[in-house]
Amino acid sequence: MKALTRNPFLLYSYLSTEMLAPFFASFLIMNGVFFLVKLIPFLNFALDLNISFTDFVRMFSYMLPNMLLYTIPMAAMMGVIIGFSRLSSDMEILALKASGISIYWILPPLFTIALIITLATTYISTKLIPVSEIAMKQLTYQLLKEKIDKGIKEYQFTEALGDLVVHVGEIDKKTGQWKNVWVSDMRGQKNPAITMASTGRMFSNLDEMNITILLENGSLHRPDDKDSQIVNFERYIINIPLKPGSQPKPNERKSLGMIQLLERSEEIGQDTEDGRELLTEFHKRLVLPFGCLILTILGLPLGLQAGPGKRATGIPYGLAVFVLYYVLFTLGRTLADDGLAPVAFIMWLPNVIFLFIALYAIHRVTNEKTILPERLLFILNNIYSLTLKPLVALLMKILQRFSPSKIGIQSQQADPASQPATDAGTGMIRGDVSVKIYHYPQCSLYETKNCSTTFLSADLAEESGFKSCTLCAPKTNRSPAAPPSATNSDK
């Protein structure tokens, strides 16, 4: 213990390795899933514009920071849960406690890794996302403009402009001026409006993401079922917005920096709808990285729920916590955008709630207690027995009709309570010191406070003067003992 106090770096490096290995594995898996989800829209956009593979990779890399803002917190939380679940299942946490090392010795490497991941997420949220949004907007504009420029050729009808069809007689290669221009406009009408002009030119605007066609010295023909209209003009302007198609349109809020968001919201007015949206975007870039820190720390008590003879419930609980956090975050963001609650208060409320939950869970775990109180667990188990358990049993019966042999074997292996308990198959045995009775993991009294002594087998427990419990006693010749009363167990 003194050597560890002088040089704890060996323990810290070992714990860091146990957390970082599953973190990187979860990071790759989650980003792969997000990539597959976003792949089809990007493929449609790439085939529509006939872009090269290099531009396709560039465009997807510009969207990567938005993905990392959600995948990094989830991967960090799963990495901590998986790492400490393995340490608990392999009894390494128990060995550390037996050596005099408390849970508080585990916190420094956990906080260090969580802080590093949080700083990386903050940099992505505040710096990379605005830069990637601007780059995405520029690249999308460039690709769409190149499609139109390549599509307009002499003596050919160009359909690259959607509902507008353009025919150009001649194109001056030096000035880019058109001659003998014919335009058919079908936007918002049944019969096309025909525009003919002697000259024309095309301009583009990156900020507005549109293309302007300027026609000179021509006439506009508007046919109608009853009346037709002919208008002669000297100059006529047609604005064409560049639509990215299946590619998501770049968001103007995300392309602004942190200081620009505050300045723009103050200029517009933070009480207006646009001002609240800008202020919400500002808080979002700070709330999510801090939420990553909280979720990573919360992975410690969830991972320590595993152990010999216990199910690894930390992973499903972690997924439920992650989903609940983002549901509250999305709800708060919606209320902030609609002006139903103060922006700063409602945006930071989920972080405050989960921070108290994380601190409470760590306090419970360090004091050798379950995360939730026993009474609350008893209530939740009763709710599960009354609601979900009958549905699960009904589903198992339906599945057994289709595949009775396979399902039957799996159900027997999954339910240890239905099998005779043996010393080899039930895991560690705990003994209640106050009444000298030992319990198997499937027993309801296995997690009580007085069950502080562990045995590798029932024979060792009986040699120490303990007797088997009547609730979990295996079908052997051993004489089971009466379970402790409620008053004894509470003591």
Short-list 78, 211, 201, CA closest to 142: 211
Q: What is the pLDDT of residue 150?
A: 65
Residue type, 284: K
**Both tokens of residue 43?**
């493929």
At position 490, the amino acid (one-letter code) is D
In percent, the amount of the chain with pLDDT more than 70 equals 74
Is 466 a domain residue? yes
The count of structural domains within the chain is: 3
pLDDT tens for 458-471 read 777 777 778 787 76
Q: What percent of the chain has pLDDT over 90?
A: 7
Same domain, 405 and 481: no
Strand, helix or coil for residue 85: helix
The DSSP element (H or E) to which 236 belongs, if any, is strand 229-241
Q: Specify the pTM.
A: 0.63
pLDDT, residue 239, reads 76
Q: Is residue 224 part of a domain?
A: yes
Res 174: pLDDT: 75
Predicted confidence (pLDDT) at residue 410 exceeds the cutoff of 60: no
User: So what's the pLDDT on residue 256?
Assistant: 80
Task: Say whether both 385 and 456 belong to one domain.
Answer: no
CA-CA-CA-CA torsion sign (467, 470, 473, 478):
positive
In this structure, are 405 and 424 located in the same domain? no
- For 450, the domain range is 416-490
Higher local confidence (pLDDT), 33 or 46: 33
DSSP code per residue over 37-65 = HHHHHHHHHHHHHT--HHHHHHHHHHHHH
Q: pLDDT tens digits for 293-338?
A: 999 998 888 888 776 666 667 788 888 888 899 999 989 888 888 8
> Is residue 385, in this structure, part of any structural domain at all?
yes
The answer for residues whose C-beta is within 8 angstroms of residue 234's C-beta and 6 or more apart is 216, 217
What counts of helices (H) and strands (E) characterise the chain? 15, 11
Going by C-alpha positions, the residue among 247, 161, 163, 168 that lies closest to residue 211 is 161
- Domain annotation covers residue 359: no
Query: Do both 176 and 235 map to the same domain?
Result: yes
Residue where one domain finishes, among candidates 181, 207, 241: 241
Domain end point (choices 241, 275, 305): 241
Look at residue 298 and tell me if it is in a domain: no
Pair 195, 183: CB distance under 8 Å:
yes
Rounded distance between C-alpha atoms, residue 46 and residue 56, angstroms: 7
* Pairing of the two strands 193-205 and 467-469: unpaired
Kindly state whether residue 218 falls inside one of the protein's structural domains. Answer: yes
pLDDT mean across residues, the chain = 75
Q: Is the model's pLDDT at 204 over the cut of 50?
A: yes
Most confident region among 52-56, 106-110, 438-442, 483-487 by mean pLDDT: 106-110
Average pLDDT over residues 236-242: 74
- 190 exposed, middle or buried (CB, 10 Å; 0-12, 13-18, 19+)? exposed
Q: Rounded to a whole number, what is the largest CA-CA distance in the chain? A: 109
Cβ neighbors of 180 (< 8 A, separation 6 or more) are: 168, 169, 170, 198
Q: Using an 8 Å Cβ cutoff, are 122 and 291 in contact? A: no
Shared domain check, 234 and 176 = yes
d(CA 111, CA 106): 9
Same domain, 392 and 421: no
Instruction: Give strand pairing partners of 232.
Output: 219
Q: Do residues 393 and 464 share a domain?
A: no
Residue 357: exposure state from Cβ atoms within 10 A (0-12, 13-18, ≥19): middle
Final residue in a domain of this structure, among 385, 414, 443 = 414
Residue 94 included in any domain? no
Q: Both 159 and 237 in a single domain? A: yes
Residue 57 lies in a domain: no
Are both 422 and 405 inside the same structural domain? no
